[in-house]
């Protein structure tokens, strides 16, 4: 049996297919530019077959893109704990609230999953250097995996991003450029310069494999819950990579015969100061509009327009989910509650996800007895200034 069952890439907008041996960004059909998904033929693979494998994102290698084990560039990402939030849940009389705790990943956030996969593939397919825009954690993760791969890495971040994000990128040997603007302004600079500079752009959902790394959260959740899925998943959303990836993983697992057709309601959480997805969701739109003057201290949520917003909105609706906004003050409270009641010093994004549970309960969008998973997506240690 091949190590990977990857067969082709397909455009999530127009369906055009591509050879996965080429180093590609987005769909090349005129006027399309849709995000590309990795597609696999479904192996005959049982849940027991994987039980004894090591707990990284490559545990699921048949449904991951690397062709050969020796191509994998790993720092041990993935395999994170799923913790019962008993004390926080009790406060709301919700006995079945869980935290998927992503802070323990290499470089302190779940960005390690996506960039571990993306850098592995960039290197294997012959990239000479990578570049990306970042609101914070993606830059550190890209820089770390690029260091491990021996690839030059060029990171573009807003100049008001907390200093620690720049310090870690530089420690990993990346070239950091501070930009007077937001993450999409940074993305434009990468797009303008990449051809002349020979950089491969690893912006999320403008290359096919970050979403593959992040989809492993969906596999892990199912396995950790004994091959069932929760009723509700609460996900702090920037580019939406993990939400899109998990939804993809659920379909793959159903095709593998590992789970049934039931799906969680997917809840997208954004900051009051940067809420393009909740706005588009409330207005019934299929795509979002760039959120002007975007501001929030949760840097991972400071994404004024996600590239694959159309996929996020489609999933929220298909799952009968919701989109919720949380203020920065509420996030601070959420961070304090996760720390003082559950022993988790969360990133503000994780605090936002916990606060969203309270809002959803108050609005009767979740029931007290439902099984709810909150994503704590990164460590709080990077946000202390």
Ligand X SMILES: *Cc1c(COP(=O)(O)O)cnc(C)c1O
Q: Which residues form the interface with ligand X (CB under 6 A)? A: 109, 111, 136-138, 204, 236-242, 300, 347, 349, 377-378
**Which residue's CB is nearer to ligand X, number 4 or number 237?**
237
**Which residue's CB is nearer to ligand X, number 212 or number 349?**
349
Shortest reach from residue 198's CB to ligand X, in Å? 26
Shortest reach from residue 211's CB to ligand X, in Å? 9
**Which residue's CB is nearer to ligand X, number 204 or number 325?**
204
Question: Do the beta carbons of residue 108 and residue 75 sit within 8 Å?
Answer: no
What tokens appear for 300 in the block? 């991972």
Shortest reach from residue 19's CB to ligand X, in Å? 27
Give the residue nearest to ligand X (CB). 300
**Which residue's CB is nearer to ligand X, number 124 or number 239?**
239
Helix orientation angle between 241-256 and 111-124, rounded to the nearest 10 degrees? 80
Cα–Cα–Cα angle for 35, 206, 299, nearest 5°? 115
Rounded-to-integer distance, Cα 191 and Cα 27, Å: 15
Shortest reach from residue 242's CB to ligand X, in Å? 4
**Which residue's CB is nearer to ligand X, number 102 or number 223?**
102
What are the residues whose beta carbons fall under 8 Å from the beta carbon of 167, sequence distance 6 or more? none
Shortest reach from residue 194's CB to ligand X, in Å? 20
How long, in residues, is the chain?
385
**Which residue's CB is nearer to ligand X, number 67 or number 134?**
134
Question: Do the beta carbons of residue 229 and residue 373 sit within 8 Å?
Answer: no
Shortest reach from residue 235's CB to ligand X, in Å? 7
Shortest reach from residue 349's CB to ligand X, in Å? 3
H/E/C letters for each residue in 151-166? Answer: CCEEEEEECCCCHHHH
Rounded-to-integer distance, Cα 87 and Cα 84, Å: 9
Rounded-to-integer distance, Cα 259 and Cα 228, Å: 7
**Which residue's CB is nearer to ligand X, number 73 or number 346?**
346
Rounded-to-integer distance, Cα 269 and Cα 352, Å: 7
Rounded-to-integer distance, Cα 382 and Cα 385, Å: 8
């Amino acid at each position: 049996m091949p190590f990977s069952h990857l067969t082709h890439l397909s455009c999530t907008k127009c369906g055009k297919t591509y050879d996965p041996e080429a180093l590609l960004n987005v769909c090349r059909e005129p006027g399309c530019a849709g995000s590309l998904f990795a597609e696999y033929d479904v192996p005959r693979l049982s849940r027991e077959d994987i039980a004894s494998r090591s707990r990284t994102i490559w545990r699921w290698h048949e449904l991951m893109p690397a062709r050969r084990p020796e191509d994998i560039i790993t720092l041990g990402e993935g395999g994170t704990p799923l913790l019962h939030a008993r004390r926080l849940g009790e406060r709301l009389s919700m006995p079945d609230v869980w935290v998927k705790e992503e802070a323990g990943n290499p470089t302190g956030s779940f960005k390690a999953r996506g960039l571990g996969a993306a850098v592995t593939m960039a290197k294997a397919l012959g990239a000479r250097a990578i570049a990306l825009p970042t609101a914070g954690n993606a830059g550190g993760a890209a820089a770390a995996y690029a260091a491990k791969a021996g690839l030059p890495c060029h990171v573009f971040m807003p100049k008001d991003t907390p200093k620690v994000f720049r310090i870690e990128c530089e420690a990993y040997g990346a070239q950091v450029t501070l930009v007077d603007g937001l993450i999409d302004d940074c993305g434009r600079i990468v797009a303008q310069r990449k051809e002349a500079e020979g950089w491969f752009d690893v912006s999320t959902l403008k290359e096919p494999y970050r979403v593959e790394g992040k989809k492993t959260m969906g596999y892990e959740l199912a396995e950790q819950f004994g091959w069932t899925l929760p009723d509700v998943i609460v996900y702090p959303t920037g580019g939406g990579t993990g939400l899109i990836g998990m939804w993809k993983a659920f379909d793959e697992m159903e095709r593998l015969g590992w789970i049934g057709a039931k799906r969680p309601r997917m809840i997208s959480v954004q900051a009051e100061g940067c809420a393009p997805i909740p706005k588009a969701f409330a207005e019934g739109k299929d795509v979002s509009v760039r959120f002007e003057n975007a501001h929030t201290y949760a840097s991972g949520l400071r994404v004024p327009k996600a590239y694959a917003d159309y996929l996020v909105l489609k999933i929220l609706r298909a799952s009968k989910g919701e989109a919720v906004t949380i203020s920065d003050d509420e996030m601070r409270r959420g961070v304090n509650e996760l720390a003082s009641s559950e022993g988790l010093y969360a990133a503000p994004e994780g605090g936002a996800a916990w606060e969203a549970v309270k809002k959803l309960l108050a609005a009767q969008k979740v029931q007290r007895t439902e099984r709810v998973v909150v994503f704590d997506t990164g460590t709080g240690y990077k946000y202390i200034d």
